[in-house]
Amino acid sequence: MAKMGRPSKGDRTVLYSRVPTSVVERLKAEADARGLPYADVVAEILCDHYGEVYEFSRPANPNQERLELTA
């Protein structure tokens, strides 16, 4: 049986922060335009600031089958 799910993005830690709404709106717009999760864009920005390379940003696969959400 094939392995399910996406590949690991390595050793990471959850970080919570309160950010001005105007900044969050810009961040979400960039992430949406690039087809990336918001967290990946935040990680890229932080890594760039501290001289690290974030190698795990990859757009969502548009060909991936989606399940309909029902409640």
Is residue 8 in a domain?
A: no
Is residue 35 in a domain?
A: yes
Is residue 70 in a domain?
A: no
> What one-character-per-residue DSSP string does 8-41 give?
P--S---------HHHHHHHHHHHHHHT--HHHH
Is residue 1 in a domain?
A: no
**Number of compact structural domains in the chain:** 1
Say if pTM beats, i.e. exceeds, 0.85. Answer: no
Is residue 71 in a domain?
A: no
Is residue 53 in a domain?
A: yes
Is residue 23 in a domain?
A: yes
Q: How many residues does this entry show for the chain?
A: 71
Print the domain residue range for 52.
17-58
User: pLDDT per residue over 4-63, tens digit each?
Assistant: 777 778 888 999 999 999 999 999 999 999 999 999 999 999 999 999 998 887 766 666
Is residue 22 in a domain?
A: yes
